[in-house]
Amino acid sequence: MVRFGRRLALCMMGALAAGFAAADASAQDKVSVAAVYTVPIEQQWVSRIHLALNAAKERGEIDYVYSENVANTDYERVMREYAEQGADLIIGEAFGVERGARNVAAQYPETAFLMGSSLPAQEPNFAVFDNYIQEAAYLTGIVAGSVTKSGLIGMVGGYPIPEVNRLMNAFMDGAREVRPDIKFSVTFIGSWYDPPKAKEAAFAMVDGGADVLYAERFGVSDAAKERGVYAIGNVIDTAADYPGTVIASALWHMEPTIEKAVEAVRSGSFKAESYGVYSHMQYGGSSLAPMDPAIVGQETIDLVEEKTQAILDGSLVVEIDDAEPQSTL
Amino acid sequence: MGDILDILTTAAFWAAAIRIATPLIFGTLGELICERAGVLNLGIEGIMTAGALTGWLSVYLGADLATGVLLAALVGVVFGLLHGLFTVPLGLSQHVTGIGITLLATSLSYFVYRVVLPDTSSPPRIDAFPPVAAELGGIPVLGPLLFQQTALTWLALLAVIVVAYVLYRTPVGLAVRTVGENPAAAEAQGIDVTVVRIGAVMVGSALMAVGGAFLTMSAFNAFFFEMVNGRGWICIALVVFASWQPGKALLGALLFGAFDAYQVRLQQTVGSLVPYQLFLMLPYLLSILALVVMSRRAAYPKALMIPYRKGER
């Protein structure tokens, strides 16, 4: 009786272990993704990553957890916590913590890291991405150059970091393409979230004669709306909130990047490479929000369409210029 | 060179200066009342954040604008009471308590925000305060300067007058000033030092919260993390600049607003010649300079930051 009981117990334990193993296997079908953001998920940039990850979660491809508003000084600790918990893929932004984030990645070689960064990837597991949507920004520049009457475009940014500069520069190139004599007024407010301050900077530009505003920050489109001038959106689509004010937007889509990375992790082929290219138009990583022909004119839309085709077939390459943009005197 | 000075003669520039100054006027008046009663309130940054959230959230959840401002003030009163209880009867360090209040109020605001809006791509907008009389906006100078401002800016200007009147012309004001100068003398006059100090901190904190609410209900129409962006700390410096006098507080806030409005306009004329960081620094640099000049003759409340314990010699 005793022996039988022991055997039964062993069987049960075996069955339980098998059950756990099975549960484990089904969990492994889903890639567990953890994201660490230095800003709240409302921030334009991060909102696009959050959106793409939530979409993948809805499709049942990943388990997704995240921490937002993590200070740079806490960043490594939070990365480590997720790595210790067994996340397969950790996504975040390493801009303010490049060295620390790379150190953490080196200590967890089994975990895949995909980080927003303007620097190269690092072997074996630290891949990078960035908002390389300069093509769409260039196209919005064409729109801005076509609609401006005063020939002065106001641009309000947070900080002149590569992620902001490259879009501003591409935008300026696009505007010069249709109107070589165009002038720009560039201001940085030294904050990511101070919409009242961004609004004041935008008001100052309208007072100075600008009739199109490049809205890098929240607050600029509000100023444009109040003063009755046009605004160009950036990264997110805010046209619905500002009908008739935001006339064109360069949108960033993180979905292609996320899909590639999740697939690579699932198939075990994740490498330290740059995913930046998946933000290009060719891969669907960026696009132009729909425009209203009544406002921007059919001619402009046709021109933008023509340039879009040129970008897609590779005959037009939009330069990536990360230098700080300057006002025209 | 002409361009650089021409900016100062435009009405739009002065209108911007008043707009930028409005939250600072509220905050500086609030801090001034606290300090006049002898209590330093470093909770200001957090209380402004809490006010910004409360005002905006109340309107988003269906309250009208006036109710939103009142609720923001009420939240300010609650945090003021907390700060008062720790620093007045318990006599704890005013610095440490104030910083604690800032951390608590800020984090609590973010927490409430995230509980109400767990997953948004951009914060919902409210219909913010409109200009008081947009139809009069066309009047030269006065139009943009006053009539295109919102009701909260008028409230800020009115608050300066009310605070100055109460402080200098009423028994309540005398009591507040006395507990900040010489609490033992106030006690001898039959004034309850504890009650007056806590009351002053509560009223001051209410003004701070309304200053925060201005950011989300007038200057902008949504709440963002970190959007108070150090304005509270500027108010602390402005109180010293103002030598603890409401009239000079208004002047200081307007001066800071003018510097800030000036630097964004200056960036457009000579922006490519000078790094933008220098322009952003300008209002702070000039404020420090002004502070150095003004504070030489500043007379601070004698009992500032000294807890009063009954019967102690």
DSSP string of B165-179, one letter each residue: HHHHHSHHHHHHHHH
Beta bridge partners of A114: A91, A127
Please check whether residue A188 touches B, CB under 8 A: yes
In 3D, which of B237, B266, B264 has the Cα closest to residue B252?
Answer: B237
Please check whether residue A197 touches B, CB under 8 A: yes
Q: How many CB atoms are closer than 10 A to CB A3?
A: 7
Domains A31-129 and A134-253+284-312 equal at CATH topology level: yes
| Amino acid identity, position A38 | T
State whether ipTM is beyond 0.90. yes
Q: Is B73 exposed, middle or buried (0-12, 13-18, 19+ CB in 10 A)?
A: buried
How many angstroms away from the CA of B272 is the closest CA of chain A? 5
Look at residue A187 and tell me whether its pLDDT is greater than 80: yes
Q: How far is the CA of B250 from the CAs of A154, A204, B177, B238, in angstroms?
A: 31, 23, 19, 9
Is A183 in a helix, a strand, or coil? strand
What does CATH list as the number for A134-253+284-312?
3.40.50.2300
Q: Give the rounded distance of the alpha carbon of A247 from its chain centre.
A: 21
Q: What is the pTM of this model?
A: 0.90
Average pLDDT, chain A: 89
Of B121, B229, B264, which is closest to A236 when you measure between CB atoms? B121
Chain A, residues 13-52, CB within 8 A of chain B, namely 39-42, 44, 47, 50-51
Please answer yes or no on whether B225 and A218 come within 8 Å at the CB atom.
no
Please answer yes or no on whether A208 and B268 come within 8 Å at the CB atom.
yes
Please check whether residue B138 touches A, CB under 8 A: no
Residue A325 carries which DSSP code?
P
Q: What confidence score (pLDDT) does residue A329 get?
A: 67
Q: Give the rounded distance of the alpha carbon of B46 from its chain centre.
A: 11
Lowest mean pLDDT among A13-17, A225-229, A230-234, A302-306: A13-17
How many angstroms away from the CA of A122 is the closest CA of chain B? 31
**Strand A31-36 relative to strand A89-93: parallel, antiparallel, unpaired?**
parallel
In 3D, which of A132, A136, A90 has the Cα closest to residue A109?
Answer: A90
| Cα radius of gyration rounded to whole Å, chain B | 20
Of A50, A187, A199, which is closest to B267 when you measure between CB atoms? A187
Please list the pLDDT of chain B residue by residue as tens digits (313 residues): 567 778 888 888 999 999 999 999 999 999 999 999 999 999 999 999 999 999 999 999 999 999 999 999 999 999 999 999 999 999 999 999 999 999 999 999 999 999 999 877 778 899 999 998 877 777 877 878 888 899 999 999 999 999 999 999 999 999 999 999 999 999 999 999 999 999 999 999 999 999 999 999 999 999 998 899 999 999 999 999 899 999 999 999 999 999 999 988 888 777 667 888 888 888 888 878 888 887 777 789 999 999 999 888 6
Q: How far is the CA of B212 from the CAs of A301, B18, B56, B66, in angstroms?
A: 43, 16, 10, 14
- Kindly identify which residue of chain B lies nearest to residue A183, measuring between CA atoms: B268
Of B16, B122, B222, which is closest to A204 when you measure between CB atoms? B16
Q: Count interface pairs A-B at CB distance under 8 A.
A: 105
Please check whether residue B263 touches A, CB under 8 A: no
Look at residue A26 and tell me whether its pLDDT is greater than 80: no
Helical packing angle, B231-241 and B193-214, nearest 10°: 130
Model confidence pLDDT, tens digit, residues A246-278: 999 999 999 999 999 999 999 999 999 999 999
In 3D, which of B205, B192, B189, B185 has the Cα closest to residue B301?
Answer: B185
- The Cα–Cα gap between B295 and B241 comes to 6
Please answer yes or no on whether B268 and A329 come within 8 Å at the CB atom.
no
Q: What confidence score (pLDDT) does residue B271 get?
A: 65
Q: Could you tell me the fold of the domain covering A31-129?
A: Rossmann fold (3.40.50)
